[in-house]
Amino acid sequence: MTPGSGERANEYDAICAHCGAPVPAGTGLLRHTPHGWQTYHPPHAPPPGPPPPTDHPGWHHRRLLSLDIATTGHRFAIDRIVSAALRSSDGEERDWAITPGREAGDGGVAGRGGGASAGPGRAPDAGPLSGSGRAPDSGRGPHGDPGRKIEPGLSASSGLTPGPGSGREPGVAPTPGAAPTPTPQPPPLPPAQVLDEVAGLVAEHLASGEILVVWFAPYVLTTLHAELLRHGLAPLSVRVPAGVGPICDPLVLDRHADRYRPGSRSLHAVADWYGIPHLHPGEPGSDAGAALALARAIPASYPTLARLSRPALHTEQIIWYAEQTERHPDAPAWPFEEIEPLPWEENGS
């Protein structure tokens, strides 16, 4: 690494990919190109960034659906979902907020009032994903309790450890000079109703054989699984008998495609690397939109990823994630773990 520059220097003598002249070890800059890592004299190095996207066929041109949630914490078996969002590659959007408080009969869940869907299984017909007038990669304002930001507490830079800030990217502020624009929040609904609707739409999409995009899938899908069981609702593993897949986790893809890139791997940082706007990190709608855009941008820059079939993409990520987390034996399985939820009273809340 070149001192103070954040750049990666060549460890060995090499040849400049631009001019063909020798580059002594430690004096050049490395760039990840479609041909692999290449060395340049500093004046000849292209700007840092992913390989330029190309127009080639692949799964990233199919219909993709992106899911994101906000929760009360990072404990899969205990913490609750407080809001959720879906974004699709054909421009459809849907957002949910969960009623604060407690819902009678559920052991004290973070929700209140009747109106829960009638029993487990597929959600009632929620209609098409409703458009909210925002592009999939736009931001939106604070969510959760009025005047309070919900902090799921998982850091995407490690993908494993608790961190301050939103679920996958702690402490990221909006771009200096950009005034965040609060966006209208959906009316809060009872938790069982929200969870059943979300799971029903996700299951319907997966049953069609298309890819579900989930940034840091083990966190989102494990939490969703526990919440569905907590409310007596059928989990995705029951709703999709063929298996919960195919899943695309852009965090796993980026770590595999550009393994040695220095710096943060938060959703905000990775989106910025690929030139994707992400104005409101931690907002489920903004996060789902950014993850969706990454699921299209990463394979556009790495054709070998785009050429994978949908089942192969899912299977390869299981292997890549296991390699990426081999030093973290407590990491949840990819894409999720079927854990049993703990009653609300057991966590002292």
Q: How many CB atoms lie within 10 A of CB 256?
A: 18
Can you give the pLDDT at residue 4? 36
Tell me the two tokens of residue 294: 């990454």
- Residue positions counted in the chain: 349
pLDDT of residue 251: 98
Tracing tokens 């590659």 back to the chain, one arrives at 89
CA dist 84 and 336 (Å) reads 17
State how far the Cα of 307 lies from the Cα of 299, in Å rounded to an integer.
8
Which residue shows structure tokens 């820059």?
301
Map 190-232 to HEC letters: CHHHHHHHHHHHHHHHHHCCCCEECCCHHHHHHHHHHHHHHCC
Per-residue pLDDT of the chain (349 residues; tens, 9 = 90+): 443 346 889 999 999 999 999 999 999 999 877 677 899 999 999 888 898 899 999 999 999 999 999 999 989 999 999 999 999 999 999 999 998 754 433 433 333 222 222 232 322 222 323 233 222 232 322 222 222 223 333 322 233 332 323 333 323 333 344 445 556 678 999 999 999 999 999 999 999 999 999 999 999 999 999 999 999 999 999 999 999 999 999 999 999 999 988 889 999 999 999 999 998 999 999 999 999 999 999 999 999 999 999 999 999 999 999 999 999 988 999 999 999 998 765 444 4
Calpha distance 285→94 (Å, rounded): 8
Query: What pLDDT score does 136 carry?
Result: 29
d(CA 72, CA 79): 5
- Yes or no: say if 164 and 171 are a contact pair by the CB < 8 Å rule: yes
pLDDT at 101: 58
